[in-house]
Structure 1
Amino acid sequence: MEPPLDAVAHAHRRLVEVIADLTDAQVAEPSLLPGWTRGHVPAHLADAARARGRVVEHWSRGERVALWEPGERDAIIEATASLDAAGHRAATAEMSGRLERAWAGVADWSAPVDPDEDDPVPPVFTRWREVWIHLLDLDLGVRPAEWSAEFAVHTVGVLRPRLPAGVSLRATDVARTWGAGTEVAGGVRDLAAWPAGRRPDEPPTSAAPLPELGPWPSYPARRQDLPN
């Protein structure tokens, strides 16, 4: 499956739209992520774009660099979370554009371009997920209903390892079922939001209580996790 470059560009545009009217007061307010203000969310997304763009820029010159040095990721997020709203808008636009330009220059996605992903699904998929999922965390009006069905199907496939054995998922609005066992049913976007640890628009239903989710799966997602 080709990396969804256009879909990521769309997610970036939506992020820019959502924070267009962000105020300095809102930056300091809590996000939906425990311990993070709203400012932490664009700080993380901007720096993740910077880091991934930098990796590809070096890769295009035959050089390999780490996404982050030990401790660097969290330090940058904490240092930039308190930017004012205008600063977050500028960083979001600049770093998202930098990443898109870097990825546009990749001619062959069959070769790893990310040293931390030796069996990669292209890291474009990781970016696609992180932008749309974190858009919910901003608590500025984006809900799972805005996700595309394609994105939701992909996200369910990646996050299924969080479910215990013996639990199946059945989408009621697209013809998709995952696994076998006690059925959890719901709209595909809600089925994606639930294992993502986010509030669905309509909670999935099951004859048994919804199971506890396991740990977030380690990345990268493997190719078999992707929709055909």
Structure 2
Amino acid sequence: MQPPVAAVVEAHGTLERLLAGLNDQQVAEASALPGWSRGHVLAHLTDNARMFARLAEHALRGDLVAGYDGGVDERNAIIEATAGRNAAEHRAELATHTAALEAVWARADDVDWSRPVTFRNADLAATVFARWRETWIHMVDLELGVRPDDWPEDLAAHAIDFLLDRLPAGTRLRAEDVRRQWSVGDGQPGTVVTGRVRDLAAWLAGRTPASSPVAAEGLPALGPWPAHPPQRLDPV
């Protein structure tokens, strides 16, 4: 599948405009994520771009490397160490790393997108989809005016595809505004959840939808976010 590079570049532009007037006080204020300031969210988005660019650079050479040599502890340490930047520093660092990521992607051809990466034991194309999710979902977490209703329709549908495993087997989702349906597993039909595509995606992502999806039996409890498989470092 051709990854949505242009859509991610557009999302980066939206994020840049969103942060244009951000001041130091706003950076230090709480985000929608428990325990994280806006600075933590921006530090994560910045380092996420750096990490994906690292994976892409090595993938284009036919190499596999870990996203973080020190695993999740390294990731968390980087976020904590850089969350306290001021607004101008956050904007500059984010711009630098998103530009570097986009530049690496611009060198990829159709064959390159299928090159393996350690991120979710997937391929290079999967990191583009992941960056698309990260950028739009965390823009909501910044609480600067972007809401799930602002998500592109294609992004919302992709988020549902990615997050569907959070639902019990047999659950069906019906997006009434785009006339699309998703089913979980091959078992007997269970709960049917209906709503608009962006509201279904926001609910599955643990964010607040404009209008809550509904189900006759009540909304099912969501399971954990899709887990990362163990990393592989041997080329395939």
TM-score under structure 2 length normalisation? 0.89
Distance 2:64 2:206 in 1: 33
Q: Check the 8 A contact 1:144/1:193 in 2, yes or no.
A: yes
Q: Are 1:153 and 2:153 matched, yes or no?
A: no
Give the stretch that moved more between structures: 113-122 or 153-162: 113-122
Aligned residue number for residue 83 of structure 1? 85
Aligned residue number for residue 115 of structure 2? 112
Query: Compared with structure 1, are the counterparts of its residues 94 and 67 closer, same or farther at alpha carbon in structure 2 (3 Å cutoff)?
Result: same
Query: Compared with structure 1, are the counterparts of its residues 57 and 109 closer, same or farther at alpha carbon in structure 2 (3 Å cutoff)?
Result: closer
Distance 1:219 1:151 in 2: 21
Aligned residue number for residue 195 of structure 2? 186
- For 2:115, the aligned partner's letter is P
Question: Number of residues paired by the alignment?
Answer: 220
Q: Are 1:162 and 2:166 matched, yes or no?
A: yes
Matches for 1:203-214 after TM superposition, within 5 Å: 203-214=212-223
SS in 2 for 1:178: strand
Distance 1:181 1:129 in 2: 28
Aligned residue number for residue 25 of structure 1? 25
SS in 2 for 1:2: coil
Q: Check the 8 A contact 1:109/1:122 in 2, yes or no.
A: no
Aligned residue number for residue 57 of structure 2? 57
Distance 2:113 2:31 in 1: 37
| 1:113 Cα offset (Å) | 4.5
Distance 1:126 1:60 in 2: 18
Task: Tell me the percent identity.
Answer: 51
| 1:61 Cα offset (Å) | 3.5
SS in 2 for 1:73: helix
Query: Compared with structure 1, are the counterparts of its residues 57 and 73 closer, same or farther at alpha carbon in structure 2 (3 Å cutoff)?
Result: same
| 1:33 Cα offset (Å) | 0.3
Distance 2:168 2:120 in 1: 25
RMSD: 1.5
- For 2:222, the aligned partner's letter is L
1:103-122 superposed Cα distances (whole Å, 9 cap, x missing partner):
11111245325233434352
- For 2:203, the aligned partner's letter is W
Give the stretch that moved more between structures: 106-115 or 78-87: 106-115
Structure in which a larger fraction of residues adopt helix: 2
1:29-80 superposed Cα distances (whole Å, 9 cap, x missing partner):
1000001001011100100101111222233334432211222111110001
Distance 2:226 2:63 in 1: 28
SS in 2 for 1:123: helix
Distance 1:57 1:176 in 2: 37
Distance 2:199 2:218 in 1: 16
Q: Check the 8 A contact 2:28/2:84 in 1, yes or no.
A: yes
Q: Unaligned 5+ residue runs, structure 1?
A: 221-228
TM-score under structure 1 length normalisation? 0.91
Aligned residue number for residue 127 of structure 2? 123
Q: Check the 8 A contact 2:46/2:94 in 1, yes or no.
A: yes
Aligned residue number for residue 135 of structure 1? 139
Q: Check the 8 A contact 1:159/1:195 in 2, yes or no.
A: yes
| 1:92 Cα offset (Å) | 1.1
Give the stretch that moved more between structures: 12-21 or 55-64: 55-64
Distance 2:121 2:27 in 1: 36
1:112-155 superposed Cα distances (whole Å, 9 cap, x missing partner):
25233434352100000010000000000001111111111111
Q: Check the 8 A contact 2:200/2:213 in 1, yes or no.
A: yes
Q: Check the 8 A contact 1:112/1:118 in 2, yes or no.
A: no
